[in-house]
Amino acid sequence: MDDYSLKILKTAQSPNQALAAALGKVLEQKQVDGVVAPGKSKDSGLPMPMLFTGSQAINSCLPLAPVAGVSTAVQAARLGRNAQKRRLAVVVKPCELRALIELAKLNQTSLDSMVLISMQCPGRMENSVYLEHLEKNPDLPDKYLHDSELQALASPTCLSCDLFEPHGADLIIHLPGIPVMEQLGISAPTQAGIELAAAMDLEESGQALDQAEALTLLREKKSLARQELFKRTREIIQDQDCFPAFLGNCLGCFNCRTACPVCYCRECVCAREAFDRELPEVMARADRSGMARLPAALGMFHLTRLTHMAHACIGCGQCSSVCPSGIPVADLFRTLGAEVQKTLDYSPGRDPEEPIPYLRFKSEAGS
């Protein structure tokens, strides 16, 4: 779809405040019991996932903030595990939406308790970059949405993400090609979204809002960046000398595992104890070349995680964002994940009803 007849939310120079106020109306009308979305805290300029239950408190909501301190998907999934008939409106970026769908397939949450709101995502800044620019631009959360120079500062993962359009959302915020400081376009693909939009008291657009050119240019730009990233990463991982160096600065902190929104196991095979090596084994390794790196088996940790997660990588880039050594872990996972997903004809988060490949069995004739 390139031409949309959308409902309109007037923004009065602040898309975030306008959308927050609309979500406040949803709370006032008791369409939902709470709203999960990024918001400002007293302790930091970095927006973090919040649960809003008061229509006044939601004024501190920043639903379109171009940053993700932590994944909102992880926090929403935890709240959805035992919602007890409570209903939540959950604002997530498209990658976070895909993560939520995957977690629901793995019985780690329930989507039944959620009305999912997402947007045509302009990407997110790394936390440190966001905070640096926030000092110079207090209106950064709004300005980013229409400033191409600021959007060029998005994380490398976002700059090469061609899955910036949400699928599976109940309500979609349309941004590219729309004068966001005047209005936002909002569409509702589902009945739950239609009911939510009605509570927001939106205006009729009066005319079709044409996003065709903006979306086409954005898709082409991101697709080219993705192809270049994959090409560069493949060259590294196919080189026996370059690949060990790619992971060479790994500290074994396991931040990448912790930050991954679809890495959910409570008992992880990649836990440090599983990769601990006793002295006889380490001595044997050291004897071959005169020395052995400690801690051992960090390369095996990454390869094991790849084996487990390549089919489910939703390309959020959180693993790279939290790496203290600056290793572009997401480049590795996205590149190999794309190959695995193509082979399996599986796209994580594409469809809540699509079986996870590793849990799908096919009986061969005669077996």
pLDDT digits (tens, 9 = 90+) for 98-128: 999 999 999 999 999 999 999 999 999 999 9
pLDDT (0 to 100) of residue 361: 65
Better-predicted residue by pLDDT, 299 or 305: 305
Query: pLDDT tens, 319-350?
Result: 999 999 999 999 999 999 999 999 999 999 99
Q: Which of 26-30, 97-101, 129-133, 235-239 has the lowest mean pLDDT?
A: 235-239
For 205-229, b/e burial (b = at least 16 CB within 10 A) is eeeebebeebbeebeeebeebbeeb
pLDDT bucket at 55, cuts 50 / 70 / 90 = confident
Task: Note whether 40 and 78 are within 8 A (CB).
Answer: no
Q: What is the mean pLDDT of the chain?
A: 90
| List of long-range contacts for 49-55, beta carbons under 8 Å, 24+ apart | 49/75, 49/76, 51/79, 51/88, 52/23, 52/27, 53/27, 54/27, 55/24, 55/25, 55/27, 55/28
- Supply the angle between the helices 329-344 and 212-237 in degrees, to the nearest 10: 100
Q: How far apart are the first and last CA of the chain?
A: 45
pLDDT (0 to 100) of residue 273: 65
Q: Give a three-class secondary structure readout of the chain.
A: CCEECCEEEECCCCHHHHHHHHHHHHHHCCCCCEEEEEECCCCCCCCEEEEECCCCHHHHECCCCCECCCCHHHHHHHHHCCCCCCCEEEECCHHHHHHHHHHHHCCCCCHHHEEEEEECCCCCECHHHHHHHHHHCCCHHHHCCCCHHHHCCCCHHHHCCCCCCCCCCCEEEECCCCCCCCEEEEECCCHHHHHHHHHHCCEECCCCEECHHHHHHHHHHHHHHHHHHHHHHHHHHCCCCHHHHHCCCCCCCCHHHHHCCCCCCCCCCCCHHHHCCCHHHHHHHHHHHCCCCCCCCHHHHHHHHHHHHHHHCCCCCHHHHCCCCCCCHHHHHHHHHHHHHHHHCCCCCCCCCCCCHHHCCCCCCCC
Tokens of 340: 């695995």
Q: Compute the chain's Rg from CA coordinates.
A: 22
Tokens of 331: 């480049």
Better-predicted residue by pLDDT, 301 or 361: 301
pLDDT (0 to 100) of residue 243: 84
